[in-house]
Amino acid sequence: MSNLTNPYPSPLLPTVCCIGAGYVGGPTMAMIAQKCPHIKVTVVDISQPRIDAWNSDELPIYEPGLDEVVKACRGKNLFFSTDVAVAIAESEMIFVSVNTPTKKTGLGKGKAADLTYWESAARTIAAVSKSNKIIVEKSTVPVRTAEAIEKVLKRNCSDATVQFDILSNPEFLAEGTAMTDLAAPDRVLIGGKIEGQAGKDAVDSLCEVYANWVPEERILRANLWSAELSKLAANAFLAQRISSINAMSALCEATSADVSQVAHALGTDSRIGPKFLNASVGFGGSCFQKDILNLAYICECHGLKEVADYWYSVVGMNDYQKSRFVKRVVSAMFNTIRNKKIAMLGFAFKKDTGDTRETPAIDVGKGLIEDGAELAIYDPKVSDEQIAMDMEGMNDNITCYKTAKEALQDAHAVTIMTEWDEFKTYDWQEIYGVMQKPAFVFDGRNILDHDHLKEIGFIVYALGKPIDPFLKSAEGVI
């Protein structure tokens, strides 16, 4: 791409667009717009409500720092629109950041990635392209997707002279810290057909964009297939660490070891490192489970059953952790939670996001309701409507509250589902006063001061911690 790093006076800005204005497309393009004022960035989506929200004061997603960047760039060099065709036609570089969920039906259902949205975006690109385009895969896709996309693009473009260069540029941001991750990424990975000149040039063009704020040594070049596979592998490795420490948490409870002490001992080994070693009720989010299942499915398709089974077990351990948590709640509360009000603090899959996709709160909540509980849910960023959608079929047993105080009033127990900082600042002495007795705390994120809670009088269950003597007799009852 020409002159991406040279300031252009408007309206001659070099133009990029992004198809898909979601958790990835919105923040990544806002960051490019902020760091590259000489580039015009248009983010397009088929969803009118989503685009309307991006153009309003109430952005469709919550991410610390996102509002400020969007408000500073919107209308200058950052635009949100539903006019997909126009944005494609005027852009030299097109990022594709559409959703790639797990297939619900057909071949590979429950495992393979559903590429319907990707293919549809590719067909639109092919239909409206009259000049050469660099297509950047931002979505997480199965390895070798670029090959299929190239065929769709070539066969559907009426102008045979139009050249499409496909790059893989997987996104490694984490929700909740997206803006800081994007501003200072550990690395940016760009895969292309680097064995040929056209592929090399396309990779260089994208490198030029990132070079506006990312140090050269952090921009990694790879072949297309390595880049595509690296994203699936990275998520699988991250999730595997969580499942590993969660597996340890079960053993800690059985042996009176303390998972935090074990994690500290592990994490101070420089070969292991301290990150991602917090025991929890389980990982969630739109990516980990989907991407591991997809990775395992790809392994299966290549006849690598043992490799597939290894990765499936990471998801299996996550499911075990969630059901183990539900069993702990039920057994601790004398094997009956029927008609008992259980406060659920936090519903998002992690703090600092309103995203509930695959949040462990869904499975834990359903498990508790199946045993007859009345759930009182409070989350600082998740709407009642979102909870109602996620808990479809169970809403008769759920009340959502605007404050934690109301959710906790007369509750028999409180479960911590998300590690929101505000939960640590509550007056737990006062909370104890308004709850039924015995008052139980089930800390699914190990964020509270458990000794303090016990001094107040709470019966505390914390993942991977020595079991409270009050609960010992309940062990294994279920």
Ligand X SMILES: NC(=O)c1ccc[n+]([C@@H]2O[C@H](COP(=O)([O-])OP(=O)(O)OC[C@H]3O[C@@H](n4cnc5c(N)ncnc54)[C@H](O)[C@@H]3O)[C@@H](O)[C@H]2O)c1
Residue nearest ligand X, Cβ-based: 22
**Residue nearer to ligand X on the CB measure, 129 or 260:** 129
**Residue nearer to ligand X on the CB measure, 173 or 413:** 173
Is there binding between residue 50 and ligand X (CB under 6 A)? Answer: yes
Least Cβ distance, residue 57 to ligand X (angstroms): 19
**Helix 305-332 and helix 360-370, axial crossing angle in degrees, nearest 10:** 50
340-357: buried (b, 16+ CB within 10 Å) or exposed (e) per residue?
bbbbbbbbbbbbbbbbbb
Is there binding between residue 358 and ligand X (CB under 6 A)? Answer: no
Q: Among 157, 287, 299, 400, which one carries the catalytic annotation?
A: 287
- What does residue 389 show for φ and ψ, rounded to 5 degrees? -65, -45
Is there binding between residue 45 and ligand X (CB under 6 A)? Answer: yes
90-128: buried (b, 16+ CB within 10 Å) or exposed (e) per residue?
ebbbbbbbbbbebbeeeebeebbbbbebbeebbebbbeb
Stretch that binds ligand X, among 62-70, 93-101, 103-111, 203-211 (CB under 6 A): 93-101
472 token code pair: 């010992």
**Residue nearer to ligand X on the CB measure, 315 or 343:** 315
Distance CA 440, CA 308 (A): 40
Is there binding between residue 145 and ligand X (CB under 6 A)? Answer: no
166-185 mask for ligand X (x: CB under 6 A)? Answer: -----x-x-x----------
114-143 mask for ligand X (x: CB under 6 A)? Answer: ---x--xx-----------------xx---
Least Cβ distance, residue 327 to ligand X (angstroms): 30
* Nearest CA-CA partner of 346 in 408, 405, 415, 292: 415
375-414 mask for ligand X (x: CB under 6 A)? Answer: ----------------------------------------
Distance CA 103, CA 109 (A): 5
Kindly tell me which residue out of 15, 99, 205, 321 binds ligand X, with binding defined by CB under 6 A.
Answer: 99
**Residue nearer to ligand X on the CB measure, 147 or 449:** 147
Q: Give alpha helix (H) positions in 129-196.
A: 145-156, 178-183
Distance CA 119, CA 113 (A): 12
Residue 305 CA, chain-centre distance (Å), reads: 27
465 with 442: CB under 8 angstroms? Answer: no
- Residue 371, beta-bridge partner list: none
Residues within window 19-38 making contact with ligand X, judged by CB under 6 A: 19-25
* Nearest CA-CA partner of 143 in 20, 24, 295, 287: 295
Query: Is 252 annotated as catalytic?
Result: no
Is there binding between residue 416 and ligand X (CB under 6 A)? Answer: no
281-300 mask for ligand X (x: CB under 6 A)? Answer: -----xx-------------
Distance CA 431, CA 417 (A): 17
**Residue nearer to ligand X on the CB measure, 53 or 257:** 53
458 token code pair: 């709470």
Least Cβ distance, residue 311 to ligand X (angstroms): 16
Q: Which are the catalytic amino acids?
A: 287
- By the criterion CB under 6 A, which residues form the site for ligand X? 19-25, 44-47, 50, 84, 97-100, 117, 120-121, 139-140, 171, 173, 175, 286-287
